[in-house]
Amino acid sequence: MADFDLFVIGAGSGGVRAARMAAQRGARVAIAEAAALGGTCVNVGCIPKKLYSYAAHYAADFADAAGYGWSVDAARFDWETLKARRAREIARLNGIYDGLLRTAGATLLHGRARLVAPGAVEVGGTVHRTRHVLVATGGHPVAPDFPGAALAVSSDAMFDLPVFPRRLVIVGGGYIACEFASIFRGLGAAVDLVVRSDAVLRGFDADVRAFLGGELRKHGITLHLQSEPARIERRDGALALTLRDGAVLAADTVLLATGRRGNSAGFGLEEAGVAVDAAGAIVVDADYTTSVPGIHALGDVTHRVQLTPVAIAEAMVLVDRLFGSGERRLDYDLIPTAVFTHPAVGTVGLGEAQARARHGAVRVFRSEFRALRHTLSGRDERTLVKLIVDAATDRVVGLHMVGEDAGEVVQGFAVAMRAGATKAVFDATVGIHPTVAEEFVTLREPVA
């Protein structure tokens, strides 16, 4: 007889949710983790990044206050205090995850797990038999290979840099690169962002990409578009990043934020016959089952949609299939997401080019304006809102925002879009005045 009904490898967001829900349904569950509980999101991703984003906003808030009659003495930022406060909060969250698992009745094993057979997992020299295995091992940063790349750091290291970098060079134009650019610029660093393409945030709506690039420049971030690193060297106690066009950027720290890869190596997957693609992603079917029956995978290691809430939702679907009615499903359309840059990006649904490719005729509604807050703050920050409507059905198929609290605003509209809201429904909705969110229900004339 098997020791467990489900053995989860990896205690990140998806793995912990699967273990908890399965245990609460009466399944015998084990979960193994070699590092801190909570995975990337809790330890070196969403949570600490958002905390640092909050910290970075204070510099702008202090400056804005003068426009509202406040006299604020010269502020001083202490890097060590921020690091220590963040570390305490993350440790608290690690403890909460531990308590949630134990309360649910799951067996928590500390150590690196390895498949030794389709229904057998070894941890610390002990082999555990199980009916089902779930691989939820997440991902890790990957860096380009060029001379001196080892002198740079990955995003995992940015939260605990021993010395605050007064000059930071970031290679990459995705959401991680852009978020760290905003964070460290807000905290006082001079920031250069080296982007291979002609705009940041590849894959996002073109208007969003162009608009955010302009706002990042306003915040003092120097963008080097269509640029790539050639080499990094040590010079005079600092780092020098030479670009392929010959330009040299001086830095105290160089961050390589050029993508992530699934943590699929070293877990015995290949020996067990589990198919892994060239990008390191575990290949799964629509039910999150790998090429080996009884072995399942979800979350970032499958490279489907690398978002914490998606991994959690996938876990709920899998547990329901294995230990419930099997009726739960996850629709990958209309998944909202946010990029916590300054200003932030919020988006749900299709970009304009995607919408035209899928639906043909579309109507586009767009507005760009200075938010009320900055009429007195004096800050030259603008907001972008954009709706994309399927002309045949009047259904809103894309909603995008660049501006303060974009994630908070877009979340509510995502519910409406999931319910099938049309432009007529948006038009019939009374706005809350004065807010930025009301702009979405007052857009009347499509752009040419």
Give the tens place of pLDDT for each residue, 140-180.
Answer: 999 999 999 999 999 999 999 999 999 999 999 999 999 99
Mean pLDDT of 351-355: 98
Same domain membership, residue 135 and residue 19: yes
Q: Which residue from 330, 320, 333, 336 is spatially nearest to 286, judged by alpha carbons?
A: 330
- Residue 148 has φ and ψ, to the nearest 5°, of 85, 5
Tell whether 275 is covered by a domain: yes
Q: What percent of the chain is modeled with pLDDT above 90?
A: 98
Residue 51 binned pLDDT confidence (cut-offs 50, 70, 90):
very high
Give the tens place of pLDDT for each residue, 274-324.
Answer: 999 999 999 999 999 999 999 999 999 999 999 999 999 999 999 999 999
Tell whether 24 is covered by a domain: yes
Tell whether 330 is covered by a domain: no
* Residues with catalytic roles: 433
* Sheet containing 337-339, strands listed edge to edge, beginning at the edge strand earlier in sequence: 337-339, 345-349, 396-402, 383-390, 362-369
**For position 352, which CATH number holds?**
3.30.390.30
Mapped onto helix, strand or coil, the DSSP state of residue 69 is coil
With the CA atoms of 200, 203, 205 and 211 taken in that order, what torsion angle do they form, in degrees rounded to the nearest 10?
0
What's the predicted TM-score (pTM) here? Answer: 0.97
Q: What percent of the chain is modeled with pLDDT above 70?
A: 100
Same domain membership, residue 169 and residue 62: no
The pLDDT value recorded for residue 322 is 98
The pLDDT value recorded for residue 362 is 98
Q: Which of 258, 273, 302 finishes a domain? A: 258
Q: Which amino acid is at 337?
A: T
The pLDDT value recorded for residue 2 is 87
Q: Which of 299, 323, 347 finishes a domain? A: 323
Distance CA 161, CA 183 (A): 14
The pLDDT value recorded for residue 56 is 98
Same domain membership, residue 83 and residue 214: no
Q: Which residue from 135, 156, 28, 48 is spatially nearest to 92, judged by alpha carbons?
A: 48
Same domain membership, residue 200 and residue 214: yes
Average pLDDT, the chain: 97
With the CA atoms of 85, 90, 92 and 95 taken in that order, what torsion angle do they form, in degrees rounded to the nearest 10?
-160
Same domain membership, residue 154 and residue 130: no
Same domain membership, residue 118 and residue 33: yes
Q: Are β-strands 113-117 and 120-123 bridged in parallel, bridged antiparallel, or unpaired?
A: antiparallel
Structure tokens, 305: 């949609």
Same domain membership, residue 243 and residue 174: yes
Whole domain around residue 282: which residue ranges? Answer: 4-140+261-323
Same domain membership, residue 310 and residue 341: no
Q: Which amino acid is at 175?
A: Y
Same domain membership, residue 436 and residue 288: no
Give the tens place of pLDDT for each residue, 389-434.
Answer: 999 999 999 999 999 999 999 999 999 999 999 999 999 999 999 9
Distance CA 215, CA 232 (A): 28
The string over 21-34, giving b where at least 16 C-beta atoms fall within 10 Å of a residue's C-beta and e elsewhere, is bbbebebbbbbbbe
Tell whether 329 is covered by a domain: no
The pLDDT value recorded for residue 370 is 97
Same domain membership, residue 314 and residue 354: no
In this structure, the chain runs to a length of: 448
From residue 245, alpha-carbon distances to 66, 163, 167, 222 in Å are 42, 30, 21, 16
The pLDDT value recorded for residue 331 is 96
Give the tens place of pLDDT for each residue, 378-387.
Answer: 999 999 999 9
Q: Which of 219, 241, 258 finishes a domain? A: 258
Is residue 177 within 8 Å of 152, Cβ to Cβ? no
Taking the mean position of all CA atoms in its chain, how far away is CA 399?
Answer: 18
Tell whether 64 is covered by a domain: yes
Tell whether 21 is covered by a domain: yes
Q: Which amino acid is at 263?
A: N
Tell whether 292 is covered by a domain: yes
Count of the separate structural domains present in the chain: 3
DSSP secondary structure, 393-432, as one string: T-BEEEEEEESTTHHHHHHHHHHHHHTT-BHHHHHHSPPP
From residue 416, alpha-carbon distances to 35, 46, 411, 419 in Å are 39, 25, 9, 5
From residue 387, alpha-carbon distances to 11, 183, 275, 342, 367 in Å are 38, 28, 40, 21, 9
Same domain membership, residue 128 and residue 27: yes
Distance CA 275, CA 295 (A): 11
**For position 240, which CATH number holds?**
3.50.50.60
Is residue 190 within 8 Å of 213, Cβ to Cβ? no
The pLDDT value recorded for residue 129 is 98
Is residue 29 within 8 Å of 23, Cβ to Cβ? yes
DSSP character at residue 76: -
Give the tens place of pLDDT for each residue, 202-238.
Answer: 999 999 999 999 999 999 999 999 999 999 999 999 9
The pLDDT value recorded for residue 1 is 72
Same domain membership, residue 282 and residue 352: no
Tell whether 447 is covered by a domain: no
The pLDDT value recorded for residue 448 is 85
